[in-house]
């Protein structure tokens, strides 16, 4: 019977576990979409590179939407799949109500900045979105300073601290401009959403004293000591003298009768 009614009882631990599992769903769907695009193109030998992002050209604007779904090879796809799923889950766990808008803004902002600042050429891959998510979570922990945000920020530092090297110019095939654009987008959006969905502050412990005093102390009423009217306070004194020492009893002043003497 307990198991039958357990679903109607509010359990914070179970609810938090369900929320954590649900937070992985959007990243899983996004990664599935990337694989759905790459696998048929790989086996059909399709070249989708011209649908990538080409900076500062009108025909390259479409790449803001399509470039994160395109990848060059299996290594490129795998290197973006697992970080994307994990980082997206962190964002959806931290912002259960506004995570959809945050993901959309990170997606569009990272692509738009790359379109403005990248080198001429087609840029493809979801690494810009990955950098945007990592930057958003890391700087969000610094700006928000709540327990969950700081914890996720520390996790990002230890797991993906090496991503910092990806924002500097490297070999020609790596789009470091997309990485840098994603990092900048994550930084600005972390600052913009720093006050969003903050947890309620923990109540401060109240110091209770042993004795509670009234807020105002009034003077005691004056004592009416006059002989007119009814006194408010009467003090009675009873004097008990000390018990004196017992005096010797006096014998009656009578003379003993002499023999042969009679009273008249």
In a domain, 40, yes or no: yes
- 123 SS3 class: strand
Residue 208's pLDDT band (cuts 50, 70, 90): low
Average model confidence (pLDDT) across the chain = 79
- Show Cβ contacts of residue 191 under 8 Å, excluding neighbours closer than 6 positions: 139, 143
In a domain, 141, yes or no: yes
| Alpha-carbon distances of 173 from 50, 81, 168, rounded to whole Å | 15, 19, 13
In a domain, 112, yes or no: yes
In a domain, 55, yes or no: yes
Q: Work out how many domains the chain is built from and give that number.
A: 1
Give the pLDDT score at 82: 93
Residue 167's pLDDT band (cuts 50, 70, 90): confident
- Distance from the Cα of residue 12 to its chain's centroid: 15
Higher-pLDDT residue of 43 and 213 is 43
Q: Which domain holds residue 101?
A: 29-192
Residue 89: give its domain's CATH number.
1.20.1540.10
In a domain, 258, yes or no: no
Average pLDDT of the residues in 206-213:
56
Higher-pLDDT residue of 62 and 157 is 62
Query: 34 near 80, Cβ under 8 Å?
Result: yes
Per-residue tokens: 130 = 């990955």
Residue 8's pLDDT band (cuts 50, 70, 90): very low
Residue 5's pLDDT band (cuts 50, 70, 90): very low
In a domain, 120, yes or no: yes
Average pLDDT of the residues in 87-110:
93
In a domain, 105, yes or no: yes
Average pLDDT of the residues in 148-160:
81
Give the pLDDT score at 1: 42
Give the pLDDT score at 41: 95
Residue 135 has pLDDT above 50, yes or no: yes
In a domain, 212, yes or no: no
């Amino acid at each position: 019977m307990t198991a039958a009614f357990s679903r109607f009882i509010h359990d914070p631990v179970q609810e938090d576990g369900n929320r954590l599992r649900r937070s992985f769903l959007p990243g899983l769907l996004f990664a599935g979409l990337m694989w759905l695009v790459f696998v048929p193109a790989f086996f059909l030998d399709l070249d989708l590179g011209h649908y990538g992002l080409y900076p500062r050209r009108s025909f390259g604007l479409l790449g803001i939407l399509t470039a994160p779904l395109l990848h060059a090879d299996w290594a490129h796809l795998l290197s973006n799949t697992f970080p994307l799923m994990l980082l997206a889950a962190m964002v959806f766990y931290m912002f259960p109500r506004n995570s959809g808008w945050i993901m959309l803004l990170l997606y569009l902002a990272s692509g738009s900045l790359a379109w403005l600042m990248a080198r001429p050429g087609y840029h493809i891959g979801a690494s810009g979105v990955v950098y945007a998510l990592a930057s958003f979570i890391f700087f969000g922990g610094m700006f928000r300073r709540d327990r969950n945000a700081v914890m996720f920020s520390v996790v990002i530092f230890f797991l993906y601290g090496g991503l910092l090297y990806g924002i500097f110019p490297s070999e020609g095939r790596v789009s470091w401009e997309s990485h840098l654009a994603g990092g900048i987008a994550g930084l600005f959006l972390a600052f913009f959403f720093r006050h969003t969905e903050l947890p309620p502050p923990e109540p401060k412990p109240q110091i209770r004293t042993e004795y509670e005093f009234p807020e105002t102390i009034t003077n005691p009423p004056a004592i009416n000591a006059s002989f007119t009217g009814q006194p408010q306070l009467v003090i009675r004194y009873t004097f008990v003298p000390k018990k004196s020492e017992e005096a010797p009893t006096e014998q009656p002043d009578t003379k003993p009768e002499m023999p042969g003497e009679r009273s008249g």
